[in-house]
């Protein structure tokens, strides 16, 4: 998230700093009101305001090395405590969950979430994995909160975009819904150059007001409106 939103690495404001403070609290090192106040302040100060909006803060962990993450020895309790510290400061908290269902944060945060959005695409291996993961989500008891979003949706619309003039696409969104999973949203595919350039700019497509991104922006806004109704 830090990378694609263009957040510059800051050694004093990132996920590691926040989680070190959380660890101090959980380990009982904040045994006075002043120490607790300082630890909670350090957590809140670890969030960085996104350059493109006035009401979006980001807790970036993308600059951390695997070794730095490992040495923190985080468990679900750490993430639960983190949320409890910041929950009164924000209207909405959006978490980019680890792709592994067995990561320490996954079950804890899924249990806390109001809604869970699983992003998939039409890659056959990705579809199969999503189907397998769904069985694990059943065991977690969270399937009533799970929503599936298809990213990079390609259609056989006759335009020939994305190679469909060479071969008609077989694994379409319609087939996916019929045979595998219900889709709560479909995000149209974008030309590769547009997608890569927005990443480099640190500016999401939904903020990129160009005619050739209208369909994608509308799809994102429709999805956003379900999560947080827009007046």
User: pLDDT (tens digit, 9 = 90+) per residue, 48-79?
Assistant: 999 989 999 999 987 667 777 677 778 889 99
pLDDT of residue 64: 67
State pLDDT tens for residues 186-199.
999 999 999 999 99
Residues 97-154 have pLDDT tens digits of 888 888 878 889 999 999 999 999 999 999 999 988 888 899 889 999 999 999 999 9
What percent of the chain clears pLDDT 90, i.e. is strictly above it?
A: 71
d(CA 82, CA 85): 5
For 110, the token pair is 């899924």
Of 66 and 156, more confident: 156
pLDDT score, position 29: 94
Please, how many CA atoms are within 13 Å of residue 110, restricted to the half-sphere of its CB? 26
- 231 versus 165: the higher-pLDDT residue is 165
Where helices occur in the chain by DSSP H, the ranges are 15-26, 33-45, 66-72, 76-86, 106-112, 124-140, 173-179, 192-201, 214-227
The rounded mean pLDDT for the chain is: 91
């Amino acid at each position: 998230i830090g990378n694609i939103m263009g957040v510059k690495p800051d050694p004093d404001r990132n996920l590691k700093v926040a989680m070190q403070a959380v660890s101090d609290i959980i380990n009982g090192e904040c045994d006075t009101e002043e120490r607790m106040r300082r630890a909670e302040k350090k957590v809140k100060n670890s969030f960085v305001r996104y350059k493109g909006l006035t009401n979006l803060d980001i807790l970036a962990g993308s600059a951390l090395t695997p070794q730095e993450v490992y040495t923190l020895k985080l468990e679900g309790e750490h993430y639960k405590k983190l949320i409890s510290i910041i929950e009164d400061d924000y209207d909405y908290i959006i978490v980019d969950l680890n792709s592994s269902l067995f990561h320490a944060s996954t079950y804890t945060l899924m249990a806390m979430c109001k809604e869970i959005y699983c992003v998939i695409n039409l890659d056959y291996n990705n579809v199969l994995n999503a189907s397998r993961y769904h069985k694990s989500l059943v065991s977690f008891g969270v399937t009533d909160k799970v929503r599936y979003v298809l990213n990079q949706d390609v259609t056989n619309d006759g335009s020939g975009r994305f190679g469909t003039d060479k071969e008609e696409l077989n694994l379409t969104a319609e087939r996916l819904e019929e045979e595998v999973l219900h889709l709560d949203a479909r995000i149209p595919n974008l030309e590769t150059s547009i997608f890569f350039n927005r990443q480099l700019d640190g500016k999401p497509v939904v903020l990129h007001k160009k005619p050739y991104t209208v369909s994608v922006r509308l799809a994102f806004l429709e999805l956003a409106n379900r999560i947080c109704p827009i007046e």
